[in-house]
Amino acid sequence: MKKKVLVTGGAGFIGSHLCRRLLSEGNEVICLDNLYTGSLDNLADLTVQPDFRFVKGDVREAFDYKVDQIYNLACPASPLDYQRDPVATANTSYLGAIHALELARKRGARVLQTSTSEVYGEPLIHPQKEDYRGNVNPIGIRACYDEGKRMAETLFFDYHRQYGTDIRVVRIFNTYGPRMRQEDGRVVPNFIMEALENKDITLYGDGNQTRSFCYVSDTVGALIRMMNTEDITGPINIGNPEEHTVREVAEMILEITGSASRIIHCPLPQDDPTRRRPDISLARKQLGWNPQVTLRKGLEETIAFFR
């Protein structure tokens, strides 16, 4: 059935891929974005489609659309971006969640919150399961994002318990792919741009900290499955359980690009997690979802985009 769908943050990296996928499946899509980190370039081929509508707006202010489903993606996700204005970041998570939930209540819509692996902080258990409560520094430089997302989860479940709001919560682990910004500041775009320009590749710390990288098409597929699965609220981890050191990623990018870049080291940023890998048992069981794109294949596609 054709649905009317609102995607907040839909001009961003993951959001633009989600809008595209929803349209391809025959839905009507409204994209709400203030373009703080999103870009109209990500939507250039969508604006001519009759079932797509872009609205420049901020989730910190109330919004109202007649929709069946709401995907709440609005929030800067890169430390470089969210630390630039930490108060705005916290408000985007908190007020954005309230406004998305209020719209869901008013319209009887289903609403999905894209939370983050950052709710686990510097994890004391490995891999991270959904019942782990996390180890987050509430006053650190990353807290505006970490605690903002934790508060959004709280609101979603309180609205569900108090008002019966039809919610879904996913915790997204590192996602990468085409349409990431060159100046995003995260590992994959940083390494790719440095490699393509034959600049030194900067590793923070010794490079042995680990991440799990999920290609964007896999992440978007999981979001849509989560939205359209009945009798489930989450939270559910969405990510690739294959763990790689940051050094391994840098070396793979050097190999694929044929770059002459050298690897150099800088101090590890404050509160930067040293290990991160999702346990996706719940996603496999309840959604029938498993990532399909290998890291090498995903990096090849992403590097081709950046070229």
Distance CA 105, CA 97 (A): 12
For residue 89, being part of any structural domain is answered with yes
300: phi then psi, degrees, rounded to nearest 5 = -60, -45
What distance lies between CA 180 and its chain's CA centroid?
11
CA angle 217, 208, 147 (to 5 degrees): 60
Residues 6+ apart with CB under 8 A from 132: 120, 123, 125
In a domain, 53, yes or no: yes
Which residue in 71, 94, 145, 176 is the catalytic one? Answer: 145
Residue in the block written with tokens 């069946």: 68
Distance CA 29, CA 211 (A): 32
Report the candidate in 50, 40, 36 with the shortest Cα–Cα distance to residue 11. Answer: 40
Tell me whether residue 127 is in a domain.
yes
Between CA 112 and CA 223 the distance in angstroms is 8
Is 150 part of a structural domain of the chain?
yes
Nearest to 4 by CA among 41, 45, 53: 53
181 by DSSP, 3-state: which? coil
Q: How confident is the model at residue 291 (pLDDT cuts 50, 70, 90)?
A: very high
Q: Is the pTM of this model over 0.85?
A: yes
- In a domain, residue 107? The reply is yes
Mean pLDDT of 229-233: 97
Rounded mean pLDDT, 262-284? 83
pLDDT at 266: 80
pLDDT of residue 108: 97
pLDDT at 269 over 80: no
Q: Identify the domain containing residue 107 by its residue range.
A: 4-179+216-241+273-292
CATH number, domain at 125?
A: 3.40.50.720
Q: How far apart are CA 29 and CA 54, in angstroms?
A: 9
Per-residue pLDDT, 272: 67
Tell me the per-residue pLDDT of 57-79, one tens digit each, with 9 for 90 and over.
999 999 999 999 999 999 999 88
* pLDDT of amino acid 80: 87
Interval 167-208: pLDDT, tens:
999 999 999 999 999 888 888 999 999 999 999 998 887 888
Please say if 145 is a catalytic residue. yes
The total of structural domains in the chain comes to 1
